[in-house]
Structure 1
Amino acid sequence: MSLDVLTFGLNHVSAPVAVRERVSFPLELVKPALAALRTAFGASVREAAILSTCNRTEIYCAAEPAVGEQLPAWLAEFNRVEAGELVPHLYQYQRNDAVRHAFRVASGLDSMVLGEPQILGQMKSAVRAAEQAGALGTLLHQLFQRTFSVAKEVRSQTAIGAHSVSMAAAAVRLAERVLGDLSQSRVLFIGAGEMVQLCATHFAAARPLQLAVANRTLERAEQLAGQFDARTLKLSSLPEHLAEFDVVVSCTASSLPILGLGLVERAARIRRHRPMVMVDLAVPRDMEPEIGRLADIYLYTVDDLGRLVQSGNDARRAAVVQAEAIIEARVQHFMHWLSNREIVPAIVHYQHNAEALRQAELERARRLLARGDDPEAVLEYLAHSLTNKHLHGPLAALNRSEGVERNQLLSLLPRLLPEPGARRH
């Protein structure tokens, strides 16, 4: 059975963060998840890759079409989530729709921040993880190479990435809405990954009174802190220091919350109810959602920031039409490659039969030469025999045909048979 390109999952549009965090895949879980997926479906799933970010969890497969009906149940079972809670938030695409979706995701058209560039790097990381897990083959390799090429083309030929309002910039705006001028504020970053680095850059531009970085690995915290003249904290020391900060931005890969309700309640009492802005950019979340109920604590999740950045998308809407046209053309190119790939077995079979025929006629001609027949006559025989055998199949099919089928064959014959004197390249 031929394989389909298949994509399914959920994103910031189809599911809230409370659902997305339950099916996110930390980097260390991607390889065992791919192994479990291929074990569960055997030869029905030949290739697979998992893309998991704060805004989406998606699985790309080269699989038999029927697998699509079973994938949601597998995702729910693997993450220990009731299928009924998950299925309403899932989307699924096959063949050209799946290819189009991959191209749109990599180009930033499906992102919370329209045109944001981070998703392309995240997709490349997902592909590397799939390669390391031995889960990538010819079909998905070709898909993703073309995906990266399309994303580059869209970014270079359109203004889709211009005037971008990033999540990091939105975090600064939200803090300024609550606290006003940040020059007298102290800002704490928890984590040291790419998103925290972006946030630190934007907050540093607002010239706050102090910046600090807390991370599980103190060395990474010191590397980031050194870029912004910030202090460093051990993650274990947060209970003693949390009350010192007016803004807390967190984005770690922790599977459990780092900041709980009790810890923040104590910090709020110490602060005597001075407002504190808390920005949770992690999925799964770093901060317990109940924190948002506390007076004078302003808790924002990645979805809250997403709603804010939508206002910055209007300037880029015109570029979307141009980007979609580029993507549509590239989808057709990929589907043409895929359809050609599907007829390869038939071509190989045809070439094998032709080669067997050539070898048989050549051997007969050699025997005639070996017994002393005239070489000119042998060459004439060889050419005549090969021509007759070459024509036998098409002409026999034509003779057996009638009506519409005969007209179709007649229209195809000039394309199947070479012109006299035509050279093969």
Structure 2
Amino acid sequence: MAVWALGINHTTAPLDLRGRFAFALDQIAPTLHGLRASLAGGSRHPQVETAILSTCNRTEIYCAAPTAAPEHTLRWLAQSGGVSAELLHAHSYHLENGLAARHAFRVASGLDSMVLGEAQILGQMKNAVRAAEGAGALGSTLNQLFQRSFAVAKEVRSSTDIGAHSISMAAAAVRLAGQLFEDLSQIRVLFVGAGEMIELCATHFAARNPRQIAIANRTLERGEKLATRLGGSVMRLADLPEHLHEFDAVVSCTASQLPIIGLGAIERAIRRRRHRPMFMVDLAVPRDIEPEVKQLGDVYLYTVDDLAGVVQTAQASRQAAVAQAEAIIDAGVQSFLHWLDLRQPAGQGAAVVPLIQQLNRQTDAWRAAEIARAKKLLARGEDIDTVLEALSRGLTQKMLHGSLAELRSGDAAAREQTAQTIERLFLRAHGKGAL
């Protein structure tokens, strides 16, 4: 079975290109169905397994099939984002087997994140796995890959200091706001959206006790829950343009596919504010705020990519933890490759797992037959020691029958080879005094 990963992230692709390939959770299932249909249609990949991880910093496709098809996957992804395959190829990466596993383990452990050691990506990866399971796209190979990713991430988190003192995107936003405003307790802050990232940012800002906190969301119910917890107010997203001028800081992160805060709305807000500065953070991919807003003189707009420099500042002191984490990941990769190797299809070496399964079925059948025979003897009143002796003799004879038959057949060279194999399998432990 081949495993491959295709992706773009914050180090390989600009924000606007990443925005073309951002999938909300409710889009994952139909997208996976389309990908699987494309890979299976008239090709060698009728049993392909797929999963998609999509966050503000990355979109990655993980696949497993008898043979790898990264080029087909790239063409499909390019078409879904409305760009040429050549453009996507220039900004993407594709990894196979061990390298794909290593990448998945590093992503889950927070080593490939903009914020080194951040834990949010692990939850996002688990959501991606649940979505793939719900879509019926996750088979045994990818399930094993991701479960091992989670186990490695847990070990990295518990055994190293990789997450110690990391600066989150939310903390970086607060730090930048503090550089613009002398006293954050005097500002009014508006949060657009009510998802996990907004909740995290709002919690960080709330710790500074701003003058006002407001939540603007498409549905009032979810916005009200967050506003109540933070002691803030709530408004409908449709009312946002009329209230923008009231806020000194705006942090936005929604799942909208198009900008919801336009240049014209910000220009009107700035005029009504008499050109007092406005701090804005757009954490959404695709963008929530039109990029032209950044050209306005009284607006300080930051995107997820703009925050990169801030979140890198505390990373140098954690290089020892990174080395420890990489060692844990190396061991995880070798373990996964061994698991994968045991499941090689015919023609690529011994298919060990099917053989093990067949041996287990055969020995279970022998055991069941001997137990049934023993029960009949006991029911007839046979002595229990006699029954146990017959049971053990029957099992050993069944287990040794094939080996003994091989020893008696074939030419001398074949018998010698069989003898060596039998000695290695059955007599090695006794020769060392084991048991």
Whether TM-score is above 0.5 comes out as yes
Deviations 1:392-417 (A, max 9, x none): 6689888568xxxx999997664345
Give the aligned partner of residue 223 of structure 2.
Answer: 221
Given candidates 393, 396, 403, the residue that maps to 1:390 is: 403
Deviations 1:293-349 (A, max 9, x none): 111111100011122100121232220011111111111112222222332235556
Structure 1 pair 45–91 and aligned structure 2 pair: CA distance change class (3 A): farther
**How far has the Cα of 1:65 moved from its partner?**
3.3
Tell me, which stretches of 5 or more residues in structure 2 are unaligned?
A: 345-351, 367-392
Report if aligned partners of 1:179, 1:275 keep a CA contact under 8 Å in 2.
no
1:65 partner SS = coil
- TM-score calculated relative to the size of structure 2: 0.83
CA distance in 2, matches of 1:383, 1:181: 83
Report if aligned partners of 1:196, 1:251 keep a CA contact under 8 Å in 2.
yes
CA distance in 2, matches of 1:82, 1:356: 58
Structure 1 pair 419–255 and aligned structure 2 pair: CA distance change class (3 A): same
Structure 1 pair 45–297 and aligned structure 2 pair: CA distance change class (3 A): farther
| Structure 2 counterpart of 1:390, one-letter code | S
Report if aligned partners of 2:258, 2:286 keep a CA contact under 8 Å in 1.
yes
Give the aligned partner of residue 328 of structure 1.
Answer: 330
State whether structure 2 residue 354 is matched by structure 1 residue 345: yes
- TM-score calculated relative to the size of structure 1: 0.85
Give the aligned partner of residue 172 of structure 1.
Answer: 174
Tell me, which stretches of 5 or more residues in structure 1 are unaligned?
A: 358-379
Give the aligned partner of residue 51 of structure 1.
Answer: 53
CA distance in 2, matches of 1:387, 1:204: 74
Give the aligned partner of residue 6 of structure 2.
Answer: 8
**How far has the Cα of 1:64 moved from its partner?**
3.4
2:294 partner SS = helix
CA distance in 1, matches of 2:15, 2:407: 61
Give the aligned partner of residue 371 of structure 2.
Answer: none
Give the aligned partner of residue 118 of structure 1.
Answer: 120
Report if aligned partners of 2:3, 2:68 keep a CA contact under 8 Å in 1.
no
**How far has the Cα of 1:266 moved from its partner?**
1.1
Give the aligned partner of residue 160 of structure 1.
Answer: 162
Residue pairs, 1:51-130, within 5 angstroms: 51-130=53-132
Report if aligned partners of 2:50, 2:64 keep a CA contact under 8 Å in 1.
yes
Report if aligned partners of 1:398, 1:409 keep a CA contact under 8 Å in 2.
no
State whether structure 2 residue 188 is matched by structure 1 residue 186: yes
Structure 1 pair 285–399 and aligned structure 2 pair: CA distance change class (3 A): farther
Deviations 1:366-420 (A, max 9, x none): xxxxxxxxxxxxxx9x99999685256689888568xxxx999997664345559
Report if aligned partners of 2:39, 2:73 keep a CA contact under 8 Å in 1.
no
1:120 partner SS = helix
1:304 partner SS = coil
Report if aligned partners of 1:7, 1:61 keep a CA contact under 8 Å in 2.
yes
| Structure 2 counterpart of 1:283, one-letter code | V
**How far has the Cα of 1:217 moved from its partner?**
0.6
CA distance in 2, matches of 1:90, 1:45: 25
Q: CA RMSD in A?
A: 3.2
**How far has the Cα of 1:62 moved from its partner?**
1.1
Give the aligned partner of residue 270 of structure 1.
Answer: 272
CA distance in 1, matches of 2:146, 2:154: 12
**How far has the Cα of 1:289 moved from its partner?**
0.7
Give the aligned partner of residue 378 of structure 2.
Answer: none
CA distance in 2, matches of 1:413, 1:321: 45
Give the aligned partner of residue 241 of structure 2.
Answer: 239
Q: Using the TM superposition, name which of 74-83 and 102-111 deviates more.
A: 74-83
CA distance in 2, matches of 1:90, 1:407: 55
Deviations 1:91-127 (A, max 9, x none): 1111111111111111111111001010011011001
**How far has the Cα of 1:142 moved from its partner?**
1.6
Structure 1 pair 68–179 and aligned structure 2 pair: CA distance change class (3 A): same
Report the count of equivalent residues.
400
**How far has the Cα of 1:6 moved from its partner?**
1.3
**How far has the Cα of 1:145 moved from its partner?**
1.4
**How far has the Cα of 1:184 moved from its partner?**
1.7
| Structure 1 counterpart of 2:403, one-letter code | H
Give the aligned partner of residue 18 of structure 2.
Answer: 20
1:312 partner SS = coil
| Structure 2 counterpart of 1:34, one-letter code | L
Give the aligned partner of residue 424 of structure 2.
Answer: 415
Structure 1 pair 413–177 and aligned structure 2 pair: CA distance change class (3 A): same
